[in-house]
């Protein structure tokens, strides 16, 4: 049976990297990178990924946007793609990526490959969300999101395995947002942006250190069960963003905003997607627990994506009512780096520094080092 494969290349991905710009988001930076002699390797990387699919050429119908957004890489790899839509060559934009992805979604793809970095992953998420399987070919400057294969050729191998083999499965993976402006100033500011559905094979996707998705979901459920045991009657529970905290709400049968801060009790949802003021109002009336997970790829506890849990909220709730949860592979991925706090309040950062227990499973904790945001 013929498989329908989409390919979108962000031709500007990665151009900021070699010239030291720490990213390629936005037209201004792209022009600066081009002026400095930046070259995108996205074409080559996409073509390299397609190499693995060449033996299956007769069984694959390849769809791409025109020219440098996929068509060229496809021809280069020896495919004759079906070309969709039109673009203005030389200055493609995030809108072009999103429009192409929506075209693919309309036509129905078995898999959509995209070559780019975190910014491209965000565009793909904005366009198609979790409506079809997608997979990133690493070609950007920053790839904090584990939606990318570890290597361009791994992306091709994984596509083959998913489309024609028995051993790849689908899995939800996080798309990480990183503030490039802040990053250039030396501050890592990652936060969870959304999720994509990716084909998963434990040997081919980066940042995956668990044996299988099944064991990962069992671990998330175990953590959720442990948290629910800690949710005392009469207490509010402030849930930070993330898939790990979402599992807590799901286990109670409640909705949860993926990137927002929500307030619940064991019995009910008190408020979704709250800001600092609303939290302060709520905890003025009742004692509370704070449940947060590590945000993004850098191991931030506070100050990245969960700002509604402000220094004042942390002071009022207290360190003793803070529950940090994390699948162990997220801790392992930190490679010994401490968890970071950057609440904007030195005293609160100080209060949280030292060693904090991190719930990693049911009746399982890790004592892990926490430090105030350090120099990069």
Partner 1 sequence: MTKPIDPKPALRRFHQARWDEPVIFELSTPGQRGVLLPQVEEGIRQEAGNVLASLPSCLRRKRAPKLPEMSQVHVLRHYARLSQENLGVDLNIDVGQGTCTMKYSPKVNDQLARSPKMSELHPLQDELTVQGMLEIMFRLEQLLKEISGMDRFTLQPGAGSSAIYTNIAMIRAYHAAQGQSAQRDEVITTIFSHPSNAAAAKVAGYKIITLYPDGDGYPDLNALKAAVSPHTAALLITNPEDTGIFNPRIEDFVQTVHVVGGLCSYDQANANGILGITRARQAGFDVCHFNLHKTFSTPHGCGGPAAGASGVTEVLAPFLPVPTVEYDGQKYFLDYDRPQSIGKIRPFYGVAQNMLKAYAWIMSLGADGLREVAEVAVLNNNYLMKKVLEIRGASAPYARGKRRIEQVRYSWDLLSQDTGIHSEEIGYRAADFGTHYWTSHHPYVVPEPMTLEPTESYSKADLDEYAGILAHIAEEAYIDPQIVKTAPHNSTIHRIDHEPFDDPASWAVTWRAYLRKVKRGES
Interface ranges with partner 1 (CB under 8 A): 149-154, 157, 166-167, 169, 202-204, 209-215, 218, 328-329, 331-332, 335-336, 354-355, 357, 360, 363-369
Rounded least distance, CB 251 to partner 1, Å: 19
Rounded distance, CA 171 to CA 168, Å?
A: 10
Output phi, psi for 160, to 5 deg: -60, -45
Rank residues 226 and 292 by Cβ distance to partner 1 and give the closer one.
226
Rounded least distance, CB 320 to partner 1, Å: 13
Output phi, psi for 137, to 5 deg: -95, 120
First to last CA, the chain: 50
Rank residues 172 and 329 by Cβ distance to partner 1 and give the closer one.
329
List of residues 6+ apart from 38 with CB closer than 8 A: 15, 16, 17, 18, 19, 21, 24
Rounded distance, CA 24 to CA 94, Å?
A: 11
Rounded least distance, CB 101 to partner 1, Å: 25
Rank residues 108 and 357 by Cβ distance to partner 1 and give the closer one.
357
Rank residues 82 and 366 by Cβ distance to partner 1 and give the closer one.
366
Rounded least distance, CB 138 to partner 1, Å: 10
Pinpoint the alpha helices (H) of the chain: 15-18, 27-35, 42-51, 71-77, 94-107, 118-128, 152-164, 180-184, 213-230, 243-251, 276-285, 311-317, 328-333, 346-352
Rank residues 7 and 168 by Cβ distance to partner 1 and give the closer one.
168
Rounded least distance, CB 247 to partner 1, Å: 17
Rank residues 363 and 375 by Cβ distance to partner 1 and give the closer one.
363
Rounded least distance, CB 361 to partner 1, Å: 8
Rounded distance, CA 252 to CA 352, Å?
A: 29
């Amino acid at each position: 049976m013929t498989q329908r494969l989409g390919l979108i290349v962000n031709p500007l991905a990665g151009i900021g990297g070699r010239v030291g710009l720490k990213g390629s988001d936005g037209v201004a930076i792209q022009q600066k990178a081009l002026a400095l002699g930046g070259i995108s390797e996205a074409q080559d990387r996409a073509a390299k990924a397609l190499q693995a699919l060449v033996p299956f050429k007769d069984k694959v119908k390849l769809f791409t946007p025109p020219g440098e957004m996929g068509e060229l890489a496809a021809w280069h790899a020896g495919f004759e793609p079906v070309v969709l839509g039109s673009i203005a060559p030389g200055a493609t934009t995030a809108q072009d990526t999103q429009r192409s992805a929506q075209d693919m979604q309309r036509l129905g793809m078995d898999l959509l490959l995209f070559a780019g970095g975190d910014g491209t992953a965000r565009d793909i998420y904005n366009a198609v969300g979790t409506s079809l399987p997608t997979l990133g070919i690493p070609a950007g400057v920053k790839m904090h999101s584990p939606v990318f294969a570890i290597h361009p050729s791994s992306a091709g191998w994984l596509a083959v395995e998913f489309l024609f083999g028995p051993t790849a499965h689908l899995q939800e993976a996080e798309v990480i947002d990183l503030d490039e402006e802040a990053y250039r100033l030396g501050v890592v500011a990652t936060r969870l942006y959304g999720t994509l559905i990716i084909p998963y094979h434990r040997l081919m996707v980066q940042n995956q250190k668990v044996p299988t998705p099944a064991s990962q979901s069992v671990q998330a459920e175990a953590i959720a069960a442990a948290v629910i045991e800690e949710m005392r009657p009469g207490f509010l529970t402030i849930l930070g963003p993330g898939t790990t905290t979402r599992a807590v709400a799901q286990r109670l049968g409640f909705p949860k905003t993926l990137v927002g801060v929500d307030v619940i009790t064991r019995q009910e949802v008190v408020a979704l997607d709250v800001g600092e003021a609303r939290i302060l109002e709520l905890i003025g009336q009742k004692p509370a627990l704070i449940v947060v997970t590590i945000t993004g790829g850098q191991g931030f506890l506070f100050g990245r994506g969960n700002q509604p849990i402000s220094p004042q909220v942390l002071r009022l709730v207290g360190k003793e009512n803070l529950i940090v949860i994390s699948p162990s592979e997220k801790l392992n991925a930190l490679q010994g780096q401490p968890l970071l706090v950057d609440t904007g309040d030195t005293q609160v950062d100080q209060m949280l520094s030292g060693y904090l227990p991190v719930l990693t499973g049911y009746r399982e904790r890790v004592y892990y080092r926490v430090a105030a945001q350090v120099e990069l």
